[in-house]
A and B are shown apart, each in its own frame.
Chain A
Amino acid sequence: MITVDGLTKIYGNRTALDHVSFEVPKGEIFGFVGPNGAGKTTTLRILAALLEPTSGRALVDGADVIEHPDLVHDRLGYMPDFFGVYDQLTASEYLDFYASCYRQPKARRKKIADDLLELVGLTDRRDQAVDTLSRGLKQRLCLARALVHDPAVLLLDEPASGLDPRARVEMREILKELQTMGKTIVISSHILPELTELCTMIGIIDQGRMRATGPVHEVIRQLTAGRRLRITVLGQKEEAAAVLKPLSAIHEVVMVNGSIEARYDGDDAAAAGILQTLIAAGIKVSGFSQLEGGLEDAFMKATSEDI
């Protein structure tokens, strides 16, 4: 659905994007993460046909963003990180205006506005002036605006920034609903735990270069070296650590909140072997589970060194 191939953007002597490439298949939620100034917004603006790349290509549903910006605009909804609203318009008039900008028939525009206000939970605010809405409500309204022409792709640049926890949860619920509607969503965000829960794919960008991209769990696995076990024992922590440390598969053993965390190499069979060794050594194991590295670990790893 989205193909980015060797995208480069140079401002004067500063390279904002350096041969960025990734693909987002239909129906996926792609989390685009990176520190401030990494190139996330630049990439999204190029995808929205608002910025010309220095080189490389970007396709949205097969339409080249430079050659066919009209087709691209027809197929995607864009929500920028910073946006303004017009004075003197109510929420329903605001949506009606953008629906008419997308050439939606007049007869359908009221229904579109009503449906979208319901989707984003603003039905009771339909007659409220948009400039008097809170930031969270404006964010929701802007998301509704991006949907007035029922696009297949959504580009959301920091949709949850500046929102309180409740508004973030509500925004996440709306995005999940959009996912069930079959939308392909690209979402840039700094809030990594939410992305882990929401996204099916992820791309980590830093200093204009794509550090890693792919399915979330695969990227995390790639970037967090080794696997981790959380072992809980009944009062024999020191003994258990002494049993684990000599094992060749174990790299590191640390105590975390009363449990033992062990980093090891190998597959599930290796984990089973470690458990057997502990039991054979007379350690009373009450808990034994595999821990997966988090997105934060992967992000820190990806953005702290050259890959």
Chain B
Amino acid sequence: MNRLAIALWNPIVAKEYRSRMRTWRSPLAMTVYILLLGGVGWAIFASTAATARNSFNGAQAANYGQILFLWLILFQMVLLAFITPALTAGAVSSERERQTIDLLFVTKLPAFSILWGKLLASMSFVILLLLLSVPIFSLVFLFGGIELDQVVIAFLVTAVAALTLGIIGLACSTAFKRTLPATVSAYGAAFILLAGSLLFGLLFPTEINPNATRAPAPPAVTYLSPILPLVVIGTNGPLNGYGIRNGGIYPMTQGGGMACSAGPNGTQSCYMTTVPIGKGAFGQPYNPPQPSGTTIPSGLFSGWQYWQATVTLQLVISLVALILSAILLPPIRHLPWRRRDRGVA
């Protein structure tokens, strides 16, 4: 067996699979997961079917398909945000509480293998849940409006977000001796990642620069949340009205503001009511560039797809959390700055 195979299939994985699948909790978790997701899918499906009975055409069907997909994928993300930290936050701390961790440390398994095994076992369960949800997601193809690549990318974003939450949970489990504080901190981190970053976009939005030639984009921090790319993928359109401060409240003007109005074709027209610092003149219409497509129009990730930015940021966080866990876990840490002269008496 080569090194990769050993790393991927270490004894911890086999043991965790065996232990997990022999309890009633796993089948119960899977059943509840499917029932909840199926319930939401059924409710949206029933609602849209009732609406479609009255007036139905091809374009509306596509719209219904998008709505159903968006609800399902967002609900799935929220469900996994609840499940994943619970799977990993106790992975290491429960070994400590059960007094089995020393028995693992004295084996030939390196600390990273222990972490990797725990992570792989937990993530396998998440992947299993994702696979179980595929038949429910196939409902959206009854309506259309969603392409297969959208589903695949949405699942990728969800899986990476779950992986990130899992690794953060594992880091919390390594950092805290007890499972309770590890679980609380893992859920706190999950909340910050999913909702906190979105809240940041609301509290500290990007201000419209009248001189900009590109449409404004939400602050880069907001891309940490998987909700943003999932909405973009689900609607298959630009992200409007979030993370941007507009409407002439804080234009780069001197003494006055801006007046905006929506045009008949959906564009926004803004009029300078004062002397601006940048382009435009008093009383002249000012049309800030509008985002189009599913790419990030400006900023640090300009030209990237939203999902690409989110996946990249989350993988970076995951890598940092994993390295941190690998440093924290071993009973004796071989850190360069902790080297000291161990005198022989």
Contacts and interface: CB of A to CB of B under 8 A. Distances in A.
Do A and B make up one complex?
yes
B92 to A, nearest CB: 14
Interface stretch (A28-36, A80-88, A187-195, A200-208): A80-88
Interface in A78-130: 78, 80, 82-89, 93, 97-98, 100-103
Contact of B344 (A57, A74, A84, A103): A57
The dominant DSSP class at the A interface is: mixed
B250 interface: no
B4 interface: no
Given A66-B342, A83-B100, A89 B331 contact: no
B106 A48 contact: yes
A87 B22 CA distance: 10
Given A73-B108, A89-B19, A145 B11 contact: no
Interface in B83-133: 98-100, 102-110
Given A86-B100, A89-B19, A50 B11 contact: no
Contacts of A89: 15, 18-19
A229 interface: no
A55 interface: yes
B57 interface: no
Contacts of A19: 345
B107 A98 contact: yes
Interface of B: 11-12, 14-15, 18-19, 22-23, 98-100, 102-110, 331-332, 342-345
Interface string A154-192: 000000000000000000000000000000000000000
A51 interface: yes
Interface residues of A, number: 42
B194 to A, nearest CB: 32
Interface string A244-271: 0000000000000000000000000000
A57 to B, nearest CB: 5
A88 B100 CA distance: 14
Given A5-B344, A74-B108, A51 B100 contact: no
B19 A101 contact: no
B100 A85 contact: yes
Interface in A119-157: 145, 149
The 7 closest A-B pairs by CB, nearest first: A6-B345, A101-B107, A84-B98, A100-B11, A84-B99, A88-B22, A88-B19
Contact of B345 (A51, A55, A86): A55
Contacts of A78: 102-103, 106
A83 B100 CA distance: 6
Nearest to A76: B106
> Is chain B's binding surface mostly helix, strand, loop or mixed?
loop
A88 B23 contact: yes
A8 B343 CA distance: 10
A53 B344 CA distance: 11
Interface in A21-54: 21, 45, 48-53
A11 to B, nearest CB: 15
Nearest to B12: A101
**Centre residue among A5, A74, A83 by max chain B CB count within 10 A:** A83
Nearest to B338: A52
A18 B146 CA distance: 71
A20 to B, nearest CB: 9
Nearest to B105: A50
B343 A83 contact: no
Contacts of A214: none
Contacts of B332: 49-52, 66, 69
Given A78-B102, A84-B99, A89-B18, A101 B109 contact: yes
Contacts of A51: 331-332
Contacts of A7: 345
Contacts of B107: 73, 98, 101-102
B342 A53 contact: yes
A64 to B, nearest CB: 9
B112 to A, nearest CB: 13
A298 to B, nearest CB: 25
A140 to B, nearest CB: 15
Contacts of A101: 11-12, 104, 107-109
B108 A70 contact: yes
A294 interface: no
A50 B329 CA distance: 12
Contacts of A48: 102, 106
A50 B11 CA distance: 21
A55 B345 CA distance: 8
Nearest to B16: A86
A226 interface: no
A83 B103 contact: yes
Contacts of B108: 70, 73-74, 101-103, 149
